[in-house]
Amino acid sequence: MSRIPNFPQNLIDEHRNWHRARHNVDINNPPPDYGLEFLQFHRNFIARALSWYNQNGNDPRLVEPWTSVPEAIRRAPCFNQAAESRILYQPESFATADELGRFIESSNLHACIHQQSAQLYGDPDINDFDVAPHDTVFYNIHGMINNWWKNWEGLGRFREDGGYWCGKFEGDSEEILLYSSLFGDWWLGKSWQDGSVERGETRVEWTVIGDSREFGPMNDERLFRIWDADGDGKLEVLFRHPLHGGWIEGKVKGGRMVWNPIRLQPYGFPLPSSSGLNQIS
C-alpha cells in the first residue's frame, strides 16, 4: 500500500472541496482560466502537502515526480499518447498555461493516469479525488504534471531587451538567470539579506557569467527552453542551433556559463544504440 500515515484531514478536505466545486464543469468547454487554476491549485497543494510530509520524517523517495508515465499506463485504452507527445515535445504549441491545463484535462490524460494507477497499484483511493492526496502515488502523478508545466514555463519568452528565469542554476537557493539581447550577455543574480537595514532587506547580487554571441540572438524564435536536462536538480539553457539544427546546452559551472553540444533522448522512449545521451521531458 502507498497510504501516507496520519495525513492531515484539512488537506484532504481542501482537495476534495476544490474538485467538487468544479465537478460539473464541461472540460471540453470550461470557463476562463480553468486550466490555469487546475495547474496552480495542484502546484500549491503538493508543495504544502510535501512540506508536511517531509517535516514528519517520511521517505521523500516515495513521492518523487515520475519522470515519465509508466508504460503499463501508456498502453491502456484510455491513454492518449498523441496528447502526451504534444505536451512533451511541442510545448510551444500551447499559447498559455491555461490552454495547457485545459488540454491535460480535456485529453483525458489526468483522469486516465489516476484511473490506471489505481488498477496498477491495487489501490482504488488513487482514483478517488476525495481521498487521493493521502496516497504517495498522487504526488508521483502531480509532480510529473507540474514538471510538464515547468517544461512549458521554460520556453523562451523574450522581452525586447532580453529575458529572465528563476530557479536553481548553480547553488542550492533560488537564483535569477538574465539574458541581455543587446549584448548577448548572461547574468546570474543571487539574493542575500542585508543586515544593515533595520528589518533586513533582500538584495540581489548580479554577476556576468558569460555570453552567447557566437550563437546569435536567442530571441530569434529558435526552439529554446530552460530545463533540468540531466536530472541533477539544476536548470540548464537549451536551444536549437540556428545553423546546423543541433541542440546546445548552457550549464553554469564555477560561476561561468559553459556551452556544449548535446543530443537529447525523450523520457519514456527506448534509448538508441549509442549511449551518453541527455534526457528531457
Whole-prediction pTM value? 0.74
Q: What is the pLDDT of residue 265?
A: 66
Does 50 reside within a domain? yes
DSSP 191-220: EEEETTSTT-EEEEEEEEEEE-GGG--TTS
Residue 111 located in a structural domain:
yes
Is residue 40 in some structural domain? Answer: yes
Given 153, 185, 212, which residue is the final one in a domain? 153
Question: Mean pLDDT, 10 residues at a time, over the chain (281 residues)?
Answer: 90 96 84 93 96 95 93 96 91 92 96 96 94 97 93 81 86 89 93 60 87 93 86 90 93 96 66 42 39
Considering the domain architecture, whether residues 132 and 205 belong to the same structural domain is answered as no
* Per-residue confidence (pLDDT) for residue 269, from 0 to 100: 47
Would you give the DSSP letter of residue 252?
Answer: E
- In terms of domains, do 138 and 199 share one? no
Name the domain boundary from 86, 118, 153: 153
Give Cα 189 to chain centroid, integer Å.
21
**Structural domain of residue 219, as residue ranges?**
162-280
| 37 shares its domain with 149 | yes
Do residues 22 and 147 both lie within one domain? Answer: yes
Domain boundary among 129, 153, 177: 153
Q: Does 56 map to a domain?
A: yes
**What's residue 281's pLDDT?**
39
237 and 218 both lie in a single domain = yes
177 and 220 share a domain?
Answer: yes
- Do 26 and 65 lie in one domain? The reply is yes
What per-residue confidence (pLDDT) applies to 1? Answer: 52
Q: Structural domain tally of the chain?
A: 2
Q: What's the pLDDT score for residue 274?
A: 38
Report the 10 Å Cβ neighbour count for 96.
Answer: 12
How high is the pLDDT of residue 201? 64
**For the range 66-69, what are the long-range contacts, defined as Cβ-Cβ under 8 Å and sequence gap of 24 or more?**
66/140, 66/141, 66/143, 66/144, 67/144, 67/231, 67/267, 67/268, 67/279, 67/281, 68/144, 68/267, 68/268, 68/281, 69/113, 69/144, 69/268
pLDDT for position 271: 41
Residue at 4 is within a domain: no
Quick one: which of 107, 128, 106 has its CA closest to 117?
Answer: 128
- Is residue 1 a part of any domain in this protein? no
Residue of 70, 62, 66, 55 lying closest to 142 (CA atoms): 66
Distance between CA atoms of 154 and 280, rounded to whole angstroms? 12
Question: Do residues 101 and 145 both lie within one domain?
Answer: yes
pLDDT (0 to 100) of residue 202: 66
If asked whether residues 148 and 189 sit together in one domain, one would say no
Write the DSSP symbol of residue 171.
S
Q: Which three cell numbers stand for residue 142?
A: 502531480
C-alpha cell read off for 203? 538584495
Q: What is the pLDDT of residue 280?
A: 45
Q: How far apart are the C-alpha atoms of 80 and 241, rounded to whole Å?
A: 31
d(CA 231, CA 235): 9
Residue 2: inside a domain? no
> 3 in a domain, yes or no?
no
pLDDT (0 to 100) of residue 228? 85
